[in-house]
Amino acid sequence: MEFDQLKLSNQLCFPIYAASRLITREYQPYLDNLGITYPQYLVLMVLWETDAISVNEISQKLILNTNTITPLLKRMENLGVIERQRSGSDERKVIVELTKKGKEMQFEAAAIPEQLAAGLISEKMEIGELIDLKEKLESIIRFLTEKNKIE
């Protein structure tokens, strides 16, 4: 091939993309038991950390545009796991809050990270390697987030 830089095997983005898709697939059986999708699970994790926050705060934490988050939240509201309401202090803000059902799902979801990690750890991959990978990816995310704020 004349353009080695365009080979899939020479790209940083592809292994990250492929790993993300495959890990998300590993989550699916656990999330199916909860009746939610992976993006909904991410929203729930944000709300389990800090309940009753704005759509913008959720978008920032998940590095997603609000026009991506809004339909997701609407579906979650239809599932009965969250409620959305306008802020009393600022009508431009929409506050997202867990319902009783959403709060109870935290107990069911608590074992998912450990179960997923157990499925990834093997003689070929140790827990320390996963932790190291997570830290390196977080470093890339911080760098790119800061870079995109400046431009």
Task: Give, for all 151 residues of the chain, the pLDDT tens digit.
Answer: 588 888 888 999 999 999 999 999 999 999 999 999 999 999 999 999 999 999 999 999 999 998 999 999 999 999 999 999 998 888 889 999 999 999 999 999 999 999 988 888 877 888 899 899 999 999 999 999 988 875 5
Within-domain flag for 114: no
Ranges of beta strands (E only) in the chain are 53-54, 82-86, 94-98
Q: How far is Cα 47 from Cα 102, in angstroms, rounded to an integer?
A: 9
DSSP letter assigned to residue 86? E
**What is the pLDDT, as a whole number, of residue 150?**
59
Residue type, 65: N
108 within domain boundaries: no
- Structural domains in the chain (count): 3
Q: 23 and 45 share a domain? A: no
Enclosing domain of residue 28: 1-34
Q: Could you tell me if 46 and 5 lie in one domain?
A: no
Q: Would residue 30 count as lying in a domain? A: yes
Q: Do 81 and 45 lie in a common domain?
A: yes
CA dist., res. 70 & res. 76, Å (int)? 10
127 and 138 share a domain? yes
User: What is the reported pLDDT for 1?
Assistant: 57
27 and 47 assigned to the same domain = no
Task: Please check whether residue 113 lies inside any domain of the structure.
Answer: no
The confidence score (pLDDT) of residue 36 equals: 96
CA-CA distance, 96 to 37, in Å (whole number)?
A: 18
Q: What is the pLDDT of residue 92?
A: 87
* pLDDT for the residue numbered 66: 87
Does the pTM of the predicted model rise above 0.95? no
- One domain, residues 45 and 78: yes
CA nearest 93: which of 103, 104, 102, 85? 85
The reply to whether 90 and 46 lie within a common domain is yes
Q: Which of 41, 93, 89 is nearest to 66 (CA)?
A: 93
